[in-house]
Homo-oligomer: A and B are copies of this chain.
């Protein structure tokens, strides 16, 4: 059994290895968990002893199959609880992440599986992230960001890379929610900002910080 802290390390390593192609560095983990590199080294030895990571001094780490499964089952819980809070308790999508950070550590397979059934097997959480199944399998198809579109191209918002309240509230103020159809009207090389139009709604100029954090599915299928 993983402790609360070990679970957070496994999750951090999982997310970092999805953006970094090579092994995850000690420093990047320390930065993400807001702790010191020396603390991370200590923990890496423990996680390695428990066969959750492949660790060799100075070489960075990768998750073992068992470690990845453990991480994905925590993420499964996190996302199901987020769906519960938004769908059943009427929370807004920018209010649930912090609470889910606590709920994800509640240890009961029975509880999660029944929660999933109660929620009628949702495929995605309120931020468009896919929900892993009971075995820890998950499919990602969010490789395209708004920043990757060129002038004239259209798509629909399918997810957010940044789930912070600040970002989500900013999106909401522009009416940019999941499922929202958008078209790129112009791109400005100077600061990489974009002029976009939201179907049947307003036109906005969005910064590169916004466009890089919005996942898009191209070729509107409606």
Interface residues of A (CB under 8 A from B): 85, 88-91, 95, 98-99, 102-103, 106-108, 110-111, 114-115, 117-118
Complex-state Cα separation, A93 to B76, whole angstroms: 26
Name the contact of A88 in the complex, choosing from B90, B103, B118 (C-beta under 8 A): B118
Name the contact of A108 in the complex, choosing from B88, B99, B118 (C-beta under 8 A): B99
> Is there an interface contact between B89 and A114, defined as CB atoms closer than 8 Å?
yes
Complex-state Cα separation, A117 to B88, whole angstroms: 10
> Is there an interface contact between A118 and B89, defined as CB atoms closer than 8 Å?
yes
Complex-state Cα separation, A191 to B98, whole angstroms: 55
Chain B residues lying within 8 Å of A91, measured Cβ to Cβ, are 110, 114
Name the contact of A103 in the complex, choosing from B89, B106, B117, B118 (C-beta under 8 A): B106
Could you tell me the dominant secondary structure of chain A's interface residues? helix
> Is there an interface contact between A89 and B111, defined as CB atoms closer than 8 Å?
yes
A168 to chain B, nearest CB (A): 16
A102 to chain B, nearest CB (A): 5
> Is there an interface contact between B114 and A106, defined as CB atoms closer than 8 Å?
no
Chain B residues lying within 8 Å of A102, measured Cβ to Cβ, are 106-108
A36 to chain B, nearest CB (A): 22
Complex-state Cα separation, A95 to B99, whole angstroms: 24
Name 23 interchain pairs, CB-CB below 8 A, sorted by A.
A85-B111, A85-B114, A88-B118, A89-B111, A89-B114, A89-B115, A89-B117, A89-B118, A90-B114, A91-B110, A91-B114, A95-B110, A98-B108, A99-B106, A99-B108, A99-B110, A99-B111, A102-B106, A102-B107, A102-B108, A103-B103, A103-B106, A106-B106
